[in-house]
Structure 1
Amino acid sequence: MAAAAEIAGCFAFWAWLRLERSPLWLIPGMASLALYAFLLTRVDSAAAGRAYATYGGVYIAASVLWLWLVEHKAPDRWDLIGAGVCLAGAAIILLGPRHA
C-alpha cells in the first residue's frame, strides 16, 4: 500500500510537470505522499533504515507494475530482471540473520 501511495503521489507531480495536467493534481498527490509516509511508519522493524532499504525493492517492483497497469506499457525483460534482483536484495535485507 505504501508503494502505491508513493507512486501515485509522485505521478501526480509527473502529470503536472511532464504531461501538462492541472496544478490541482498536486492536491491528491500531496495527500498520497503523506499517506505513504504514514504507512511506511507502520512497518514492524526496529530500525527505520532497514525498513526503508527493504521497501526500496518493493517500490521498484511496484513501479514496474505501475508502468504496466497504469501507463499501459508492457515491462520488458530488463524491467522484470531488475525488479527481481531488487526484490531478492530486499529479501536478503529483511530475512538475513541478525545478531542481537
Structure 2
Amino acid sequence: MPTIFVYVGAALAEIAGCYAVWAWLRGGRSALWLGPGAASLALFATLLTFVPTEAAGRAFAAYGGVYIAASLGWMWLAEGVRPDRWDLAGAGVCLAGAAVILLAPRG
C-alpha cells in the first residue's frame, strides 16, 4: 500500500476517533460515541504499522505533518471553520518537514 494512502487513512481514523471523544466530553453526545471512537483509534495505530521504514519513530514523526494538514481539513469540512493563512503556512512547513524525514536518502 503506498505510504501516502497509509498516512491519509491513519489521519482520518485518528481524527475521527479523537473527535468521538471530543463530541462526548465537550459536545454533550452519548457515551456510545466512545465505542466507534476506540475502534477508529485502533485502526489508526494499525495503519501506521504499514509504513515501510525500519524505525517506528520515523514513521510516527513523518506522520505528524500529515496529521496536522488533515486536522485543518477536518476543521474546515466537519466544523465549518476555514483555515487562515497562518494555519496553511504552518501545515506547509510541517508537510515539508515530514517529506524530509520520509524521503531522505538513507544508506
TM-score (ref. length: structure 2): 0.90
Matched, 1:79 2:87: yes
Q: 1:23 aligns with which of 31, 36, 44?
A: 31
Q: CA RMSD in A?
A: 0.7
- How many residue pairs align between the two structures? 99
Letter in 2 for 1:49: G
Match of 1:33 in 2: 41
Deviations 1:68-87 (A, max 9, x none): 11111111111101100000
Letter in 2 for 1:24: L
Matched, 1:45 2:64: no
Structure 1: which 5+ residue stretches go unaligned?
none
Distance 1:18 1:76 in 2: 24
Q: CA deviation at 1:97?
A: 2.4
Structure 2: which 5+ residue stretches go unaligned?
1-8
* SS of equivalent residue, structure 2 residue 47: helix
Match of 1:58 in 2: 66
- % identical aligned pairs: 72
Match of 1:70 in 2: 78
Match of 2:15 in 1: 7
